[in-house]
Structure 1
Amino acid sequence: MAAAKTKAQTLINENGVVVFSKSYCPYCNATKQLLNELGAKYTALELDQVDDGSAIQSALQEISSQRTVPNVFISQKHIGGNSDLQAKKRDLPALLKEAGAL
């Protein structure tokens, strides 16, 4: 668990925008689509495609108090899931610019 938490935290710390996702999840796809439409640079980790995905998902529960995906971080701040990101649509360009993702 410690290794998974370190991996997740390192991704969050080293990237302006991180989406913890699952490849088959429609909400994850909607999140990535919105970021793509805005031209954002982001790192997506597909938890269903990595060996330690389940452990990382548990670690995210500790880090963000959210276990569900997508789990989005911008500028090392926990944004939430797809509905949280969609609700911030108007502020998103400024947040992404601040994160160096635009």
Structure 2
Amino acid sequence: MDRVKDLASKTAAVVFTKSSCYMCHSITQLFYELGASPAVHDLDTEPYGREMERALRSLGCNPSVPAVFIGGKFVGSSKDVISLHVDGSLKQMLMAARAIWF
């Protein structure tokens, strides 16, 4: 859990992914389209990826990826991010965290 929190707090927008997850790719692309450059951590290549995946599940992220953090705070998984995008608050969150400027 400490590694997840540490990585999540180092960048304004962070996405934990797995290479086999199509929604991870979609969420990452959404961030790029909004003008953000999230730190993307692929749990398949992380030395402690399995432990990090368990930590993400303990936060309530099921499935464990994609797991999104903005401004160091856990936002949720793909359905949460898409809901925020649809109602317009995702962009506001990214602006408040200084992940994008408009």
Structure-1-length-normalised TM-score: 0.86
* Cα distance between partner residues in 1 of 2:12 and 2:43: 19
Which runs of structure 2 are paired with 1:3-82 in the superposition (5 Å)? 5-62=1-58, 64-67=59-62, 68-82=64-78
Gaps of 5+ in 2: none
Q: Which has the higher helix share?
A: 1
Aligned-residue offset at 1:37: 0.6
Q: Provide Cα deviations, 1:59-92, integer angstroms capped at 9, x if missing partner.
A: 2233x22251001111122111111101111212
Q: What's the counterpart of residue 101 of structure 1?
A: 99
Q: Provide Cα deviations, 1:20-70, integer angstroms capped at 9, x if missing partner.
A: 1112201101100100111102111000112211111112233x2225100
Percent identity between matched residues is 32
Between Structure 1 and Structure 2, how many residues are aligned?
97
Gaps of 5+ in 1: none
